[in-house]
Structure 1
């Protein structure tokens, strides 16, 4: 590895396949929303609530991806590929165990979960069957997270792209077929969406397991490595918990303003998640390159990657903001034809556009700090930002009837506070710690 700053081509070579992986799920979810949206506002609201629960439980374990990348990348930078892949083996065992636990817990508590988030009634009844089916894919989702993690760590973002595209392509073919009963298939309605999702997730997971097997590394469980992964996972899980507390609160409050409000919130939130992950592809390149540079003891190289990726991400975010500002009159109609939902979309749409450039900086620096394994700082920064910025405005919007304007004001405040924290940390240089430990 050179001490010179990495080129734009090198960053793009990692970021573009990673973008495909990250974009595949939200693109599929937007497609899913468009398919289910033709069933009406109630089905769309049910998908929103069920999808929120699935996202909550799976996203809480993203350390299987990001933590594994950080640890694998350091070993890869130190020229120890066997150890780098070994991190993936242990992460996969964790994924299977935790995924099965998630299935059991959600099946037991599915009814109170749906009722608590939606306020009960027809929306909860619509969400429940979808959730009971879709949650069976939780172990597969987590195996794919672990697979993405170690492959990014060894700077291979091409294979994850192939695996994920195969899984979601199958889901995309099955979704309208099962929802509407096409080609002689049974008309399952909203439940058909869940079945399609489930099949695609398990297909992708099988491909990631195959990638581990061809590496011919020991497949046994190693308690020491599991413990080290769980220590980093603890901090990243608490960080993710702060995100989820915010988004669950936002969904719950939106549901209390009616089916049209929660459906509009879901459409814009999925778009926001899609745009965030587009920007996160650059952050993943930073994570892999920074981790490898620090593992090799090349601090100057790591710092150069950090600043270059931040500039690229900020420019990309500004371009996206302009595109979605210009598309505001027509793009929402691609996701629903319900007039009430379209009316509700206007306010959150412009909040999304306004905060995109800030997000470009934040997500890039998130990737840098994750690559450095700076999990404790990121945990604390996110918790403070959530408690001070997002959550107060969310619940005040319910108390005072501010609707989606209040909810999205909270999201914007949260983003600005995170910018302050990660910006200070990046400038401080305290994340520049060499070695594989």
Structure 2
């Protein structure tokens, strides 16, 4: 578990640092730029993360076939997933470039923030095909029990992104557009590196690299339940950002950084979920139900304690972190308050992420899709009550994060109930 989780942790922490770096760099351009980055990031991450099944679904399929000693079949499924990633990425880019303005305006941000957001989104959209290829390639490698290669690629990509964004934003003077171009270039480099590793492995085993319509359609069909699950989860995040946009520009800027910090912590906790996907898929492929139960119990305990450590860390730094993202006192005060709520929810988030990963690794995607829709429906009344109360400013932002924390608690409870049963423990090379 540690052999898989530690490299996955470093890789996943590096990924949200793309946005953390952009937030720190763009934040010093002004509050409007930081608020615009927050709205654009919500749209961009939604466009990319609704296709996260390219990583998660591929990990489960490849891991099962690896456990059943069918490495050639595992890589063939991985190649189909990468073709699907490229095709979906091209479609997503076209849609975002064409509809960037109306999508951004849906959030109701200020005119200045909308202008900055549209610039960032239209440029960043060109990096989505590379972003999705990275997801698919990472899924293949994780399924093959290799989390070290994705770690190296992610760290190198983050380093390149930080340097490029800073140079293009400040010395070159491109403003928020420079941050977008820096991220696009770094993502392209990661896609070429990780894709090359998978292609070399496929060639070694004689796996065809050409596009096979039936294989791509099969990968797409298998991913539909995970797509629904992810859309429901992204709807929660989008609704949260939409509410934050109505609390005031300083509060929206603070929410952008708070959500970016939460995402970074989520990816850190998700390292155990990645290990859970790979271990669960491989063990079920080999018929080892007892091993799955033991690994799940261990990883849940680790998730709770890791969450406690993150809680202590964020509480200790909740007044320091805002200084690195904005010089606006209102933004700093709102962010410090929101970070305390973010910190309090980390142990519960640890349980939710681990069990989500275990069930994905088991291929229990249909239940996850229905459950996530239920979790979304439970969250919407809380948002309605917050809106009806008319509370705004920093107080409104704090209550918004309290509602989001309750959503995570409901999600963790539902996943725990499912994991206690036996219906998801299906063995064999395919589910």
Q: 1:255 aligns with which of 245, 250, 258?
A: 245
Give the Cα–Cα distance (whole angstroms) in 2 for the partners of residues 16 and 326 of structure 1.
Answer: 24
> Contact 2:17–2:158 at 8 Å: present in 1 too?
no
Instruction: Confirm whether residue 436 of structure 1 aligns to residue 429 of structure 2.
Output: yes
Unaligned runs of 5+ in 2: none
Q: Which runs of 4+ in 1 moved over 6 A?
A: none
Instruction: Confirm whether residue 413 of structure 1 aligns to residue 399 of structure 2.
Output: no
Shift of residue 82, structure 1, vs aligned partner: 1.0
Shift of residue 84, structure 1, vs aligned partner: 1.1
Residue deviations 1:18-44, cap 9 Å, x none? 111111121232122111111111110
Instruction: Confirm whether residue 356 of structure 1 aligns to residue 346 of structure 2.
Output: yes
Give the Cα–Cα distance (whole angstroms) in 2 for the partners of residues 46 and 98 of structure 1.
Answer: 26
Q: 1:123 aligns with which of 113, 119, 124?
A: 113
Structure-to-structure mapping, 1:251-290, within 5 angstroms: 251-290=241-280
Structure-to-structure mapping, 1:219-230, within 5 angstroms: 219-230=209-220
Structure-to-structure mapping, 1:168-183, within 5 angstroms: 168-181=158-171
Q: What is the TM-score with the length of structure 1 in the denominator?
A: 0.94
Give the Cα–Cα distance (whole angstroms) in 1 for the partners of residues 383 and 305 of structure 2.
Answer: 30
1:7 matched to which residue of 2?
Answer: none
Q: What is the TM-score with the length of structure 2 in the denominator?
A: 0.95
Structure-to-structure mapping, 1:86-105, within 5 angstroms: 86-105=76-95
Instruction: Confirm whether residue 85 of structure 1 aligns to residue 69 of structure 2.
Output: no
Q: 1:163 aligns with which of 153, 171, 174?
A: 153
Shift of residue 145, structure 1, vs aligned partner: 0.2
Shift of residue 204, structure 1, vs aligned partner: 0.5
2:38 matched to which residue of 1?
Answer: 48
> Contact 1:119–1:256 at 8 Å: present in 2 too?
yes
Give the Cα–Cα distance (whole angstroms) in 1 for the partners of residues 85 and 103 of structure 2.
Answer: 23
Give the Cα–Cα distance (whole angstroms) in 2 for the partners of residues 91 and 83 of structure 1.
Answer: 12
Structure-to-structure mapping, 1:144-163, within 5 angstroms: 144-163=134-153
Give the Cα–Cα distance (whole angstroms) in 1 for the partners of residues 222 and 365 of structure 2.
Answer: 7
> Contact 2:61–2:74 at 8 Å: present in 1 too?
yes
Give the Cα–Cα distance (whole angstroms) in 2 for the partners of residues 169 and 326 of structure 1.
Answer: 26
Instruction: Confirm whether residue 400 of structure 1 aligns to residue 355 of structure 2.
Output: no
Shift of residue 120, structure 1, vs aligned partner: 5.3
Give the Cα–Cα distance (whole angstroms) in 1 for the partners of residues 348 and 139 of structure 2.
Answer: 26
RMSD: 1.3
2:233 matched to which residue of 1?
Answer: 243
Q: 1:319 aligns with which of 309, 315, 320?
A: 309
> Contact 1:49–1:118 at 8 Å: present in 2 too?
no
Give the Cα–Cα distance (whole angstroms) in 2 for the partners of residues 393 and 348 of structure 1.
Answer: 17
Shift of residue 326, structure 1, vs aligned partner: 2.1
Give the Cα–Cα distance (whole angstroms) in 1 for the partners of residues 297 and 423 of structure 2.
Answer: 15
Shift of residue 103, structure 1, vs aligned partner: 0.7
> Contact 1:254–1:404 at 8 Å: present in 2 too?
yes
Residue deviations 1:38-83, cap 9 Å, x none? 1111110111111111101000100000000000000000111111
Residue deviations 1:88-135, cap 9 Å, x none? 101110011000000111111111001112345221111111111011
Shift of residue 268, structure 1, vs aligned partner: 0.8
> Contact 1:394–1:406 at 8 Å: present in 2 too?
no
Shift of residue 167, structure 1, vs aligned partner: 2.1
1:64 matched to which residue of 2?
Answer: 54
Q: 2:192 aligns with which of 206, 220, 231?
A: 206
Structure-to-structure mapping, 1:31-46, within 5 angstroms: 31-46=21-36
Residue deviations 1:129-179, cap 9 Å, x none? 111101100000000000000100000111111222222221111111111
Structure-to-structure mapping, 1:367-386, within 5 angstroms: 367-386=357-376
Shift of residue 290, structure 1, vs aligned partner: 0.8
Give the Cα–Cα distance (whole angstroms) in 2 for the partners of residues 197 and 399 of structure 1.
Answer: 39
> Contact 1:38–1:337 at 8 Å: present in 2 too?
yes
Instruction: Confirm whether residue 22 of structure 1 aligns to residue 15 of structure 2.
Output: no
2:179 matched to which residue of 1?
Answer: 193
Unaligned runs of 5+ in 1: 1-10
Which deviates more from structure 2 when the two are superposed, residues 151-160 or residues 329-338?
Answer: 329-338
> Contact 1:179–1:188 at 8 Å: present in 2 too?
yes
Give the Cα–Cα distance (whole angstroms) in 2 for the partners of residues 210 and 53 of structure 1.
Answer: 29
